[in-house]
């Protein structure tokens, strides 16, 4: 049985660091595999720091062509270029480091980038953090719909046997909030945008919840009547003047992301969009494959 990367599910860490990298031109496949194998050495993580490693579709097919799961692809833009729009900023490698403090995760991130320096260069770095009791900077609790950890494996991990078993599809998105605009709304208007109460995250009754409320757009029921769940691990980032959410989620099927994004950005065919997109703008969007521990070990072998 293949083992998911434990950092996907590790809880209780308050400091987070995300770095996305592009491969350097002309890098050979052997050099790439050697760098990834070195990256996975025990020295890469220490002091209760978790390291999750993900790869863009082309990079993973170069590293492990026989272990690419069906459906693995780059992120495609979603939405209307004249209005709500999620751009594709696909990169080759993603490292998510999370741990007890900013010093520990920065040391680990520097190590990752140093090991990969010969083959890849950082193009996006975001430090993020747990805000209060796991709230977004809008003040609403983030990830209320998340399955508990003991159920998250079935949601996030690709079942076996077959290519990619034990791994996960991941989406990363950097959103920039317009908190000034959101704060101008009354409390009831804010709750209408989200579809939950702000203080204790109780879902609004169906007759009080607009079809454009955030949770009305991202909570999706499939053809079988079961909810199409994803496993979220998002954290806020930023300063007074530049802030938002670094959204991370994992799924056993990439199609679940596609369905939710279409409903958020108004391309699902029902004429509605997610009102939350009126107060936050996506700056980056990428899909990654997060391989199992066995797949990563096979690279070193």
**Do you know the residue count of the chain?**
301
pLDDT band at 82 (very low <50, low <70, confident <90, very high): low
Taking the C-alpha atoms of residue 209 and residue 195, their distance in angstroms, rounded to an integer, is: 6
Q: Taking Cα atoms as reference points, which of 37, 83, 32 lies closest to residue 59?
A: 32
| Separation CA 220–CA 272 (nearest Å) | 14
> How does residue 40 score in pLDDT terms, banded at 50, 70 and 90?
low
Is the separation of the CB atoms in 263 and 20 below 8 Å?
no
Residue 65 phi/psi, 5° resolution?
Answer: -60, -25
pLDDT of res. 41? 47
Mean of all residue pLDDT scores within the chain:
93
What contacts 54, CB < 8 A, 6 or more positions away? 93, 94, 95, 96, 170, 172, 288, 289, 290
- pLDDT > 80? residue 80: no
User: Catalytic residue positions?
Assistant: 142
Measure Cα distances from 92 to 52, 54, 56, 121, 169 in Å. Answer: 14, 8, 5, 10, 14
Strand, helix or coil for residue 33: helix
- Give the tokens for residue 68: 């690419």
Residue 252 CB: number of other CB atoms within 10 A?
21
Position 119 pLDDT exceeds 60 = yes
Pairwise CA distance, residues 114 & 34, whole Å: 13
Check pLDDT > 70 for residue 248: yes
Token code pair at residue 267: 């391309």
Output the furthest CA–CA distance in the chain (Å, rounded). Answer: 59
Give the 3-state DSSP-derived string for 157-209, with helices as H, strands as E and coil as C. Answer: CCCCCCCCCCCEEEEEEEEEECHHHHHCCCHHHHHHHHCECCCCCCECCCCCC
Per-residue pLDDT band at 188 (split at 50, 70, 90): very high
pLDDT at residue 223, as a whole number: 78
Quick one: pLDDT at residue 224?
A: 80
- Computed over its alpha carbons, how large is the radius of gyration of the chain? 19
Where are any strands of DSSP class E within 43-88? 50-55, 78-79, 85-86
**Closest among 258, 230, 96 to 151, alpha carbons compared:** 230
**135-156: average pLDDT:** 94
Per-residue pLDDT band at 43 (split at 50, 70, 90): very low
Question: Do 140 and 189 touch, CB atoms closer than 8 A?
Answer: no
**Token pair for 218:** 């991202």
Q: Mean pLDDT over residues 18-26, rounded?
A: 98
Lowest mean pLDDT across 154-158, 183-187, 224-228 = 224-228
């Amino acid at each position: 049985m293949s083992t998911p990367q434990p950092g996907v599910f590790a809880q209780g860490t308050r400091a987070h660091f995300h770095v996305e990298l592009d491969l350097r031109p002309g890098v050979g496949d052997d050099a790439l595999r050697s760098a990834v194998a070195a990256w996975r050495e025990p020295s890469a993580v220490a002091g209760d720091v978790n390291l999750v490693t993900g790869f863009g579709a082309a990079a993973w097919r170069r590293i492990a062509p026989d272990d690419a799961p069906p459906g693995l692809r780059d992120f495609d833009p979603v939405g209307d270029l004249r209005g709500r729009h999620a751009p594709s900023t696909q990169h080759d490698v993603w490292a998510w480091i999370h741990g007890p403090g900013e010093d520990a995760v920065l040391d680990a991130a520097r190590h990752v980038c140093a090991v990969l320096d010969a083959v890849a260069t950082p193009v996006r770095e975001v430090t993020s953090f747990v805000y209060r009791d796991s709230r977004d900077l809008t003040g609403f609790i983030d990830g209320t719909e998340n399955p508990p950890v003991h159920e998250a494996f079935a949601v996030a991990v690709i079942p076996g046997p077959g290519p990619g078993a034990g791994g996960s599809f991941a989406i990363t998105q950097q959103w920039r909030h317009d908190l000034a605009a959101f704060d101008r709304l009354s409390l009831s208007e804010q709750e209408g945008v989200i579809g939950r109460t702000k203080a204790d995250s109780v879902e609004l009754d169906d007759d009080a919840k607009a079809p454009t409320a955030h949770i009305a757009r991202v909570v999706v029921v499939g053809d079988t009547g079961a909810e199409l769940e994803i496993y979220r691990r998002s954290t806020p980032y930023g300063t007074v003047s530049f802030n938002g959410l670094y959204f991370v989620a994992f799924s056993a099927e990439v199609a679940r992301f596609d369905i939710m994004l279409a409903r958020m950005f108004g391309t699902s065919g029902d004429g509605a969009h997610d009102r939350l997109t009126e107060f936050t703008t996506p700056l980056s969007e990428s899909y990654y494959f997060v391989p199992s521990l066995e797949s990563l070990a096979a690279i070193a072998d």
